[in-house]
Amino acid sequence: MSDGIIINNRYNLTDAIIRQTERINSTQGRKPEETSQTYNGRSFQEILNEQLNRRISFSKHASQRTEERNIQISESDLSRLEDACDRAKQKGIRDALIVMDDSAFIVNAPNRVVITVVDKNELKSNVFTNIDGAVFI
């Protein structure tokens, strides 16, 4: 290639480091907003912060179970789940059983992901395994 990074089908690490250093040095002296790239008007830092503080998400399996069992989850319910997830995470719980109203949710607290959902009919006859703790809300 003509850019000097790949020579004789081998990656030239030294050249790549030099080029990256040149790029960094060429942007010094500019304001951060001039050098940061944006996506739809948002900086990488804004997107990263949003992802770190993201709302609770549902795995494909949990989404299917929610739909199959006709479990309705409102914005208020999502907020309650997020609070319960945060409480579980603060206590060091990795996989939590969160019981809310007439439903139960198995949640991976560190990743804020609902693994599965059980409705009130299944609560009575179900055994929950592989959980570290439970939160009742």
The predicted-structure confidence for 11-38, as pLDDT tens digits, reads as follows 566 666 777 777 776 666 555 555 556 6
C-alpha separations of 57 from 86, 115, 118 in Å: 13, 9, 16
Q: What is the pLDDT of residue 88?
A: 95
Question: Residues 39, 73: one domain?
Answer: no
Question: Residues 94, 110: one domain?
Answer: yes
Is 79 within a domain? yes
Question: Residues 29, 65: one domain?
Answer: no
Question: Residues 62, 123: one domain?
Answer: yes
Question: Residues 97, 44: one domain?
Answer: no
Is 1 within a domain? no
Contact 71, 56 (CB under 8 A): no
Instruction: Please state the rounded mean pLDDT for residues 49-63.
Output: 81
Q: Looking at per-residue confidence, does 77 or 22 come out higher?
A: 77
Question: Residues 108, 129: one domain?
Answer: yes
Question: Residues 18, 67: one domain?
Answer: no
- CA–CA separation, 107 vs 99, rounded Å? 11
Q: What is the pLDDT of residue 23?
A: 73
Q: What is the pLDDT of residue 2?
A: 45
Per the structure, the count of domains in the chain is 2
Instruction: Please state the rounded mean pLDDT for residues 113-124.
Output: 90
Instruction: Please state the rounded mean pLDDT for residues 48-54.
Output: 66
Question: Residues 94, 128: one domain?
Answer: yes
- CA–CA separation, 52 vs 34, rounded Å? 25
- End-to-end CA distance of the chain: give it in Å, rounded: 61
> In sequence order, which residues have a C-beta less than 8 Å from that of residue 21 and are 6 or more positions away?
none
Q: Domain limits at 46?
A: 6-52
φ and ψ of 108, to 5 deg: -85, 105
Contact 19, 25 (CB under 8 A): no
Domain end among 35, 52, 69: 52
